[in-house]
Amino acid sequence: MSAAPASFAALFAPYTLRSVTIPNRVWMAPMCQYSAEAFGPNAGVAHEWHFAHYAARAVGGTGLIIQEATAVSPEGRISPYDLGIWNDAQVEALRPITAFVKAQGAVPGIQIGHAGRKASTERPWKGGRWVGPEAHGWLPSAPSAVPFHEGDPVPHELTVDEIREITGQFAAAAERALAAGYEVVEIHGAHGYLIGQFLSPDSNKRTDEYGGSFENRTRFPLEVVDAVRAVWPAELPLFFRISATDWLDGEGWTADETVRLAGLLLEHGVDLLDVSTGGLSPHAKVPVGPGYQVPFAARVKGETGLPVAAVGLITDPEQAEKILANGEADAVLLGRELLRDPYWARRAAAELGGELRTPTQYHRAW
């Protein structure tokens, strides 16, 4: 792993994981756009919106762009309008995006995931609740027959064979991600989606080898990591996104368990933990505030040595610089702030004295 040169702001020092050098520590968090077609031959296929969205952040100087949660199967989509990576047509549509991102000097990453019981929902601006077949929806699957919201349909409880099939879908998605040109894969284990549902005793009520003890609840996540690592090239980094706590007063997944799992993920070939929180239960009380999730990332880094990225209401360049300078994280992930300002990295570089590659076409402005 690379260290920040003294002559640069820490935020604009390059960072190397395996063979990939990311030009700075301003990284884009995966954020669903809910903008793909919902059904037919183009279901889950990226189009002009996705190209323009990611291209703008690459031109804006973002070092690593992690594409929104991209489903490993049709049933794994959060909404019918999510991107997918379960077929070759989807791969072909993603290649122009990764090629353009690389041409700007940024690194293209992709988050692969399965929504579990939180699947088949309407787009957030239309309420975000479960939708049925009349709106291109389906019955979700989950570790246990426990719905996310009261009034949602009871999800199908996965059999052991179905769990293993989904593990294979994650591996196949990683292979397609490589074919599409991505250099970082992130496994989505956060925000109450399928992997997080297995981790949390609040949603995982199984009594077989996938439920109950910490070892059993982490079995499926570690099997997914092993399956992906087996097909993802050894020279390319693998990330894992975690919700460090469910914010359920000890009744769900906890920070202590996150630290314990982080050590195992390191042993299983994960290169960086993307540390978020929450999303498992609509009843959680989350104390949202500037940098509220950073202490969880700092604890993982301090107690396990696994590199971490911090996320959550990081909006100000000085705030981001301080997180890195204090050693609380190895990079910062910006979400909504990059929706508001695709050129955030350039503004931060001007404020902090960092250096960024500028497209030749824009040199006259800098």
* Catalytic (active-site) positions: 193
CA distance linking residue 101 with residue 104, whole number of Å: 5
Contacts for 201 with CB less than 8 Å, ≥ 6 apart: 217, 251, 252, 253
Q: Contact at 8 Å (CB) between 26 and 348?
A: yes
Amino acid at 161: D
Residue whose entry in the numeric block shows the structure tokens 């063979």: 19
User: 313: left (phi > 0), else alpha (psi -120 to 50), else beta?
Assistant: left
Contact between residue 306 and residue 262 where contact means Cβ atoms under 8 Å apart: yes
| Residue labelled with tokens 């702030």 | 337
CA distance 189 to 175: 19
* Contacts (Cβ under 8 Å, ≥6 apart) of 189: 195, 196, 199, 221, 240, 241, 242, 243
Residue-level length of the chain: 366
Radius of gyration (C-alpha) of the chain in whole angstroms: 19
